[in-house]
Structure 1
């Protein structure tokens, strides 16, 4: 066991026995979709009364065994292209702002909305790709469509106040057009800057149900944000060997929030790197938690 993993076990583990082929609890309103492929992740340890977990991640199994072409094209059984019938690449006007988005699902009356924010160098195509990241975005599309929801993957033009304003407008638009039903914001890598910017905007927070941060940065001011003050649910996922943003610092933030009564979860992928959470995050478990808490 590496020093990093030992440290995380010290922080989190109440039980350190390996639990074979066990998924995180996915109880909630979203119906299963290919759970036998995406949710059967081996839990190495669980802590904080189930709020934190360390998941076994192995490149040979989770990339080479899952993809026809490693990191480029997943095997066909992981993908269902039915959502293509409800998919558009479009430029929409929200709050007087023009925003390029990929959309899957209805524009109004949706049961819930998920907005995925890419990291540096990405655009809407990343979150709309059915075959990369082990088919995980395809699963997210299917979970949205099968459960009456809508999925947006916008192109973020900048990771500053202008980008935050664009996404705040999209959140407000989705909230209004759905009749106030849940809006979930999920931010990966540098996209976490957008999540943290939104967290400080009280109006945007009022339109938001919860957030997920995948391999993101740490904002030391986050505990003082409107989002945290509102006690809205949050789920972190991170690779233990992430060299871009520190898993240990994110774990520290998780524990600070948890002790303060925040409804929050933390999933650590043992030996996972910076891109691992985008591939491995169990979207059904995460969305069910965020929607129901």
Structure 2
């Protein structure tokens, strides 16, 4: 059967449209997977992967104290070399005391307070306060990178002081999540917790009201929650990233890895980064914030 020139033109147009739609879809997917513009990736993101598993969800990263602390810091564990930091972000930084439902919460905020593209909240461990998550020079400059990644991409970063790691501490962070959501309605919120701060993450994961506002969590060097699968966070299937040092003397990496493996078997969206020979504070120093945030934001 012969087709007229008009028919050929229509078919060609449809084919072109479908091809354009496919390219557009692929382009949108690529942008979603790479949402945050780079910041000093040549210094922070070029890590050697020793082992992978679970289709890339599990990875073992090479860590060497002499290279990653002594070779990186001007004063080991206290002050990183200047090339790892960019201090212009301090212009967007402020110490604030928020009044949240009768609770006064001290925070360091970096980035715009309202209409932020996304929010990142970091919870410190025992003996810490808001200064830990805002320190530009400690932990190899990794918090300075986080601040620049968030503020530079139109987001807002909160480093609060958690006064107790019990129900009161959990309630304070739940209030902060509600506050951040009200400041930037409908925008993603990512919660990250380190060490004993992990208890705050697990507590918040049980609160359905907070979970409605969250988009994912990062747990570094933290305690394991054996009841996580009963939480509202688990039921919502929000992405969860674990990071741990293999020689952590405080909380065993094997405990978190066992939880990760059980979640993988249940087809839960999760990732696990193990730093080979890493200690308790290694993930805070070594975690690639851009990879983690992009992965959570893409989901």
Within the candidate set 223, 239, 243, 1:233 is matched to 239
1:137, distance to aligned residue in structure 2 (A): 0.2
| Local SS of the residue matching 2:241 | strand
Within the candidate set 250, 253, 258, 1:252 is matched to 258
- CA distance in 2: counterparts of 1:82 and 1:158, whole angstroms: 32
The structure with more helix, counted as a fraction of residues = 2
Q: Is the 8 A contact 1:117 1:188 kept in 2?
A: yes
Within the candidate set 105, 109, 123, 1:103 is matched to 109
- CA distance in 2: counterparts of 1:285 and 1:239, whole angstroms: 18
| 1:41-80 residue CA offsets vs partner (Å, 9 max, x unmatched) | 0000111001010000000110001000000000000000
1:80-229 to 2 correspondences below 5 Å: 80-229=86-235
- CA distance in 2: counterparts of 1:134 and 1:171, whole angstroms: 28
1:28, distance to aligned residue in structure 2 (A): 1.9
What residue is the counterpart of 1:9 in the other structure? none
Q: Is the 8 A contact 1:86 1:106 kept in 2?
A: yes
- CA distance in 1: counterparts of 2:36 and 2:212, whole angstroms: 23
| Local SS of the residue matching 1:110 | coil
What residue is the counterpart of 2:280 in the other structure? 274
1:98, distance to aligned residue in structure 2 (A): 1.2
Q: Is the 8 A contact 1:231 1:261 kept in 2?
A: no
1:94, distance to aligned residue in structure 2 (A): 2.2
Q: Is the 8 A contact 2:33 2:298 kept in 1?
A: no
- CA distance in 2: counterparts of 1:241 and 1:37, whole angstroms: 24
- CA distance in 1: counterparts of 2:88 and 2:298, whole angstroms: 26
Within the candidate set 242, 255, 276, 2:248 is matched to 242
| Local SS of the residue matching 1:77 | helix
> Is 1:32 aligned to 2:48, yes or no?
no
| Local SS of the residue matching 1:265 | strand
Query: How many aligned positions are there?
Result: 268
1:180, distance to aligned residue in structure 2 (A): 1.4
| Local SS of the residue matching 2:128 | coil
User: What TM-score do you get using the length of structure 1 for normalisation?
Assistant: 0.90
- CA distance in 2: counterparts of 1:139 and 1:87, whole angstroms: 14
- CA distance in 1: counterparts of 2:208 and 2:248, whole angstroms: 31
Q: Is the 8 A contact 2:222 2:251 kept in 1?
A: yes
Q: Is the 8 A contact 1:27 1:285 kept in 2?
A: no
Q: Is the 8 A contact 1:53 1:268 kept in 2?
A: yes
What residue is the counterpart of 2:7 in the other structure? none
- CA distance in 2: counterparts of 1:47 and 1:135, whole angstroms: 29
Gaps of 5+ in 2: 1-31
